[in-house]
Each structure stands twice: as C-alpha cells, then as structure tokens.
Structure 1
C-alpha cells in the first residue's frame, strides 16, 4: 500500500526506513471465495516529499485520499493538514509518529479512512523492531469498547448514504444503548442473499451484545431503527428512510474486472475508469472490488487504483478463472499470454460470486474493463 510519509530529523528518517516495506493494509470490504481468489496483501511503499513543499505534497495525498504519515510533532501535523480537511468520508487517514517511535497516533479518518487500524498495525510492527511503540487511539467508541458503525461499514464495503447519521449511531453506542440494524432483503440485488457471519472460527466475529439484527419491514413498523442496510438507496429514498432510520448504508454492488498491458501507469488506468463512469457503465462509489488475474498482483497501477477507490484488489489464478461458468469474449492473444481466454469478464464474475455480467469487455489504451453485479453479501462484525 502507498503512504505519503515525511520526517524532519535523522531519527524520523530512521523510523521511516523501519516502516518502509512493512506488510500493512486497511480493510476495505471482503472477498467472495466462491471461485477461489485472494485479496492482494499490501507492503508499505513510501512517497516522500523529495523537495516539494508540505502543501504540494499533502495536496496530492488528499486528492487521492491516501494515507499520510507525519513523523514528528502532532502540532506540525495539525497545522499542515488543516486546509485539506473536508469530510470524514473523503479525508485521507492521517497518522503521527514521534521521533522515538514510541507513539503512533491516528489524528484524522480513524474509522472510515482506517487510520486507527493502520496505526495499530504499524505500532505492532514497530514493536517487533527495537522500538516499543504503542497506538494512541482516542475515538470514543474504541476507548469505551462500543460498537463502531463506521468501521463496520468500511470492513463490509458499505456506502454511507448520510454521513450525519454516523454521529447519532455512535453516540447511542457509547451511551450503552442497543443498536438496531435493519436488513432490507426486499431491496433486491445482493441484499436478497444477505447473510450474517456470526462465527469467529470462519474469519468473522460474533455479533456484539449491543447489536440487534432485524428485518427492515418488521423494524420500521415497530418504530425507529438505528441503521438500515438497503440496496434501494437513491437520494429520494434516503430522504424517506431517514424518517425511520438514523443511518442508511448501501452495499457496493459492482465488481470491476480489469486487465492491462504490463507496467500500465496509474494515471492511464484511472483515466480509463473515469471514462467508463462518464459513459454510464459504472458508478465509482458503487465499485466493491477490483479483480484480475494473479500475474497482475504486483502491477503498481492496479494496486494504486484499488487503494484510491478504497476497495480490495482480488486476483485469481488462470485455472480458477477457467472454471468460472458463463459465456465470455474470447481472445487467443490473451489466452496465449495468461493461460485463460478472457481476464476482465471472468475475474469480474468470479469476484462477484457468480453474479450477472452487466458490462462486457471494453477495450481502450491497452486496458480492458468489465463489470459484474455482486450476487450476495455476507456481513462481518
């Protein structure tokens, strides 16, 4: 994963050297395992200032929403990031580490941006070196051992439809109230097959005691619910839902399958995705995963594209892709190169759990795109 890292002293540079290359990631959604596949793990790749002003460097980081790590005083960090702070959905996760490597402090986007998760992982990795680091977590739900709805949303790839609702739900959680989450299985799409992972043995976690799951029809008729998860969340519907639910979350339902020539730059890939969005083929805020073949697992442009969109990058072997049932656009060249006749369409369908292929192979500038609709969703606590 990419992080914008800067320091001001020799001790700070040494800390930067220690965290460079660490196996780190932020969890942005889950991976459907119906056809195999794996989420590509991340290793920290540092983007230093290299002569740029703090303003220029931060402007680039915040434009992409990528993590910022400032090794130095928290006061410097607060003053320099202030002009770039906009809202909790879009802000870059920002972390401060002191020169001695004792404290790793998330100061912005702790939950939705994943700064708390990243800070905890960095502290644990630094402790494995000669630093005795500890994360300094200040978010109220964390220090009170309460359920954090925004962390739940990020980990499950759910889109926040009304950000003001996060504060309301979090406030109730911190006060010890039971949080009622309503599932709208009648809203179609992947919500029809929405399941709850309630077993730590299977990689999930037991539903917290303070959380109660109900059906939307039952919950709304009984009164007000704290959270509604629905696939029917256009602006007009969200306005109506807010009368009976504090926070509305929607599953991201589109898997973007992608193939590209070797060493395609991020800017080219990003431009191609924006063109697909402009053509109405896909909505960026509805993309739940980027999917490809495993020989692209180290493709820097694809890794950066997934991180900027805050989605997992899922890859499959050629054998796994060949086993995905369906009618796909074949290419002899692609088969000779990769071992499978189509990458983007097959990868999209595989990562969607066998969902519907909504957009067939689109070719442009050495990049192929396809879109599949997520078949189901499993919510993990």
Structure 2
C-alpha cells in the first residue's frame, strides 16, 4: 500500500505504475499511526512520502522481527530519493526502492552492508533467479557474510548456474573457493533438503495420474512420502502435469491450488511419444498412452529432462477413494515458465536522458540483460552488480531472442534490449514469433516497452518534417529481397510520402542508397530537403541538411538515418519542415 503524510502526487505515479495497490493521504500524525497499525500485519510493504525521522517514530512500536515485518520505503516529497528503511532483504524493500527510483526518475539510497558493497544479499537474491528459500539459520549466515575475512562454504548443484557470473558473486566465490561438493556448506543451491541455508530452484516437475474421483488425501500422502523418501524439497517443485483427460479431476486441481503450483495438461498423443521406463499396456488401452505420470513429468520438465523417480502407485486407505501414480522429473537447469517474464526494451537512440520511464523501470526490475554489446554499453551506468549482462553479436538476433526466451522460461525476469524502439526494425517481432511458437502453457509473460526511435529523434533534431504522411524503409537486403525494396521505394515515390531510410549504406552495400535516390527523384523535385542524422543521442551526434539531388551518398553509413521530405517539404534557416497540408488545403 502507499501512505502519504505530506502529499499525494508521488504516490499517484506509483499507483498508476502498479507499484502500490492503494493509497491513503493524511497530514495528521495520529491518523497516520492508526493507519499503520491497521495495515501492518497484512500489507507486504509501505511506501511513505515524508521524513525518515517521522516514519521511524511511527513504525517503532510495531516492529516484530525481520522475518515478519513488512517492507518500508521512504520517499521525499519530490520523488528524488527512495530509501529502504525496513525489510531491505527479506521483505524486498531494496528491490522496491530500485523500482520506485526507476519509475520516478530518482535514486535508490541503499545503506545495507551488502548492497553498499555491491555484494549479493544471500538471504534474498535467489528470488530474482526464480528460487524459493528453504530451511537454515539465515540470520547467522548474514552475520557470517558480513565478515569478509571469513570463508563461506558454497555448494551449487541445481538450477541455473548463470548467477555465478554475476559481479556481485565474485567475492562469494573467492571466499568459498568454488561452488562444488561441500558437505558442510553454509549456502546451498539444490533440489534436496539438508543442512545449511538452502535456495531451491524450480527444477522438479511432478507427473500424476489417478482414477476418477480419487481422494485428495491419497494424493497428498503419495506426494509427501515420495518427496521425503528422495529427500526432495517441496520448494523445488515447479508444477504438476497430467493427461488432459484429467483436467477436470477435483483432487488434482485441489492439490495444485493448495500448493500454488501450475498444472500442465498433455494430450495422449504427446504422452505416447515419450519413451518411459515403465509403460503399461492397461493404461494404453484405457488412456491412449502407455504412460501418464512418467511421460507427463518428462514433458513438463522440458528438454533434456531426466526421471528421478519412476512411477509409484498408491491405493486408497480406509475411508478414501481411488488410486494414483506419481513420477518426478528433473529439468536440465530449471523450468518454470509461469514465473518468468520477457521484456522487450527499447533503449532509445543512446542517451540515458532519452530512455523512457517505462523502459528504465523494466531494466531496473530485470535479473538479466540480453542485447548487442554496443547498446548495452550505453545503458551500463544503470546496471547493478546483481544484474547479469549477456552480450550478443550484431548479426545473431535469433540467438539472442532464443536465449532471452530460454532464461525467461526458467523463471527469470529478462530484459531483451534493442536500440531505438524494439518494435521498429528491432527484436520484438522475432522474439514474439519464437514466443508464439512455444506451447501456450509453457510461455513466460511477454511485454514490449517502447523507446524513442531514430526516426523520431532525427525529426526532432531536423525541425518538423513528419507533419504529413510518412513511411520507413530499410535498404538492407539481408532479410528482404532488393526487388521488394525497390517496389516499396517506387510506391513511396508515387504516394509522395516523407521517407525515412534505415540501414542506408554499409561497406558491403554501397550502391543501394544511390538507387533509392534515383527512384524517389521520379516523384519529387531535386530540391527536396534531406536530413542526414548520424549517431543520434550519442557523443558524436551530427545532423545536416542537404537536397535530394545533391545527396552526399559517400557520407552515409549504417549509423546514419536518412530522412527525405515529400514534394511540399522545404528547408529554411537550418530547419526542415513538411506543411501539414498540400497547397490549397486548409486546416480546420
């Protein structure tokens, strides 16, 4: 919730952005205290606009312990600073502060020892990687972690191992001497129960089959006994899977709802295609597939899954109904699409000042940034040590999209970064195609965050050239045949559109721009103004005006956007303008 003892405008922004669920405004300190008392035990956190001293006095009588207290973030009335006053790790106040700062264009002020030193918060970082926290004395671990001269024993066997590449993990790895087998480890990332403080990745999928109207108690007994016998952590269960004919089975649905697990349903044909160790002819006659539990577990766990527990059968006790089977599969890394998020982020032309608030927030919330190295370099001042950066090559767009989708399917929050607007000649289309090709019940969430495109910034720098109909055409024939590009140029010339040319000229494509000029000259005079905008939004930005007839083709490269006016566009006093209407037309 949000609570404002001073003013509401800042919280209005956070409410609209979805960072707070509700808002209360009051300048009355007793009323503020009453509000906190009323909401303290149920709210996950408070965002308070006001002074830290006042907030400290208000919350002091309410404090219980770090495991139960909600997050409290204090924001100044101008929205310049977000301070996690309480619950920085366990309650997520530090993460919330980063989100608030990104939304308001402010700064998160972190005073915790680990955050200030750029280290991992061992008791909370796993949430960003889609994990759930298990048993252990976490307070003791954090006290030990604060003494940097003491060794910390680490054991990491399951789940994504990319977190070990984090800058914030460097010190931990040095203190631990690696991440291999260590029976007395202080910190463990594993699917099993045991000693030490444990993070459990979502790597286990349960395949279940049952007779019609089987009792819920029977399913729970089978599940709990199987996990206990194998020393498997319930927190590592990513979800439940079965045949689609059981999609209305009350006990299966009740079990999944009670545990908060997603359920994946597979058709008999899909299950029948999966090799399993214990097929059943009787099941094949009844269900159209020789395996339900084993095949469903393997399919749900994704590529390269392995069966940890072959099919077990449990029959009804007195007072129960039915019978059930259970198998457990281990994903190759981790596999929890329903927890994952894939964000297509348009970073704008390059300057951080031109990054939209929406894009900035998506970057702040992401666990992994994926993108072309040059574009990520421009965003690097915004990246924290606990955020992983993965650099891709310029021509490997499909590989970048596939990696981002894979990481999001593992349960991570991933930002796939494009320059400009990700939906204009960038990554959004390819990423969406790959996402749509995935099974509908195996997709992470997908969202696009627009950025300022090169077209928009070039127009702003040149004057007002886009006041009438315009189009964009890429001159790169790497993905589009040149014959098609020529038809589009001819159509643009015939339609008298203002034209923005992307990818106009490179060392290997040095003639296409001259040909484009010839085609456009068929529909407009040689005096038509042209803006060449190079390195927009960056230190070497340069914008110059020319005429179409004397366009200096040799000055153009792949870092240049070419903006060509229509027959009514003109340049004057260093500015380019396209009138809103044609001669004889009137604006009403």
* Structure-2-length-normalised TM-score: 0.35
Q: Note the C-alpha offset of 1:162.
A: 0.7
Aligned partner of 1:366 in structure 2 is: none
The answer on 1:16 being equivalent to 2:11 is: yes
Aligned partner of 2:72 in structure 1 is: 94
Aligned partner of 1:137 in structure 2 is: 110
Aligned partner of 1:165 in structure 2 is: 140
Structure 2 CA distance for partners of 1:135 and 1:250, relative to 1, 3 Å: closer
Structure 2 CA distance for partners of 1:166 and 1:347, relative to 1, 3 Å: same
Q: Note the C-alpha offset of 1:164.
A: 2.6
Correspondent of 1:57 among 27, 39, 47: 39
Bigger radius of gyration among the two: 2
Correspondent of 1:47 among 13, 19, 22: 22
Question: What's the secondary structure of 1:101's corresponding residue?
Answer: coil
The answer on 1:122 being equivalent to 2:104 is: no
Whether the aligned pair in 2 keeps the contact of 1:67 and 1:94 (CA below 8 Å) is yes
2:42 & 2:298 partners in 1: Cα distance? Answer: 31
The answer on 1:183 being equivalent to 2:155 is: yes
Structure 2 CA distance for partners of 1:126 and 1:289, relative to 1, 3 Å: farther
Whether the aligned pair in 1 keeps the contact of 2:205 and 2:300 (CA below 8 Å) is no
Aligned partner of 1:69 in structure 2 is: 47
2:198 & 2:16 partners in 1: Cα distance? Answer: 34
RMSD of equivalent CA atoms:
5.4
* Structure-1-length-normalised TM-score: 0.51
1:19 & 1:347 partners in 2: Cα distance? Answer: 42
Q: Note the C-alpha offset of 1:165.
A: 2.0
Question: What's the secondary structure of 2:103's corresponding residue?
Answer: helix
Q: Note the C-alpha offset of 1:197.
A: 1.6
Structure 2 CA distance for partners of 1:167 and 1:6, relative to 1, 3 Å: same
Q: Which runs of 5+ in 2 are unaligned?
A: 26-30, 207-215, 242-256, 280-295, 314-325, 335-366, 369-385, 387-588
Deviations 1:216-259 (A, max 9, x none): 65575xxxx5434455545xxx4xxxxxxxx52242668799xx
Q: Note the C-alpha offset of 1:76.
A: 3.4
Whether the aligned pair in 1 keeps the contact of 2:203 and 2:331 (CA below 8 Å) is no
1:182 & 1:373 partners in 2: Cα distance? Answer: 25
Deviations 1:242-298 (A, max 9, x none): xxxxx52242668799xxxxxxxxxxxxxx9xxx79x96999x944577699xxxxx
2:42 & 2:299 partners in 1: Cα distance? Answer: 30
Question: What's the secondary structure of 1:110's corresponding residue?
Answer: coil
2:95 & 2:333 partners in 1: Cα distance? Answer: 23
1:148 & 1:120 partners in 2: Cα distance? Answer: 15
The answer on 1:227 being equivalent to 2:205 is: no
* 1:1-381 aligned within 5 A: 4-9=1-6, 11-12=7-8, 14-22=9-17, 43-49=18-24, 53-61=35-43, 66-127=44-105, 133-156=106-129, 157=131, 158-173=133-148, 177=149, 179-183=151-155, 191=157, 193=158, 196-197=161-162, 207-212=169-174, 214=178, 217=181, 220=184, 226-229=186-189, 231-233=191-193, 238=195, 248-251=197-200, 286-287=234-235, 349-350=300-301, 375=331, 377=333
Structure 2 CA distance for partners of 1:59 and 1:182, relative to 1, 3 Å: closer
Q: Note the C-alpha offset of 1:351.
A: 8.2
Question: What's the secondary structure of 2:47's corresponding residue?
Answer: strand
2:49 & 2:66 partners in 1: Cα distance? Answer: 22
Q: Which runs of 5+ in 1 are unaligned?
A: 23-42, 128-132, 185-190, 239-246, 258-271, 294-305, 328-344, 361-369
2:327 & 2:66 partners in 1: Cα distance? Answer: 28
Deviations 1:52-107 (A, max 9, x none): 7331122321xxxx122112222333233334433333332211112221221101
Question: What's the secondary structure of 1:149's corresponding residue?
Answer: coil
Structure 2 CA distance for partners of 1:256 and 1:196, relative to 1, 3 Å: closer
Question: What's the secondary structure of 2:111's corresponding residue?
Answer: coil
Structure 2 CA distance for partners of 1:292 and 1:94, relative to 1, 3 Å: farther
Whether the aligned pair in 1 keeps the contact of 2:159 and 2:189 (CA below 8 Å) is no
Report the number of matched residues: 268
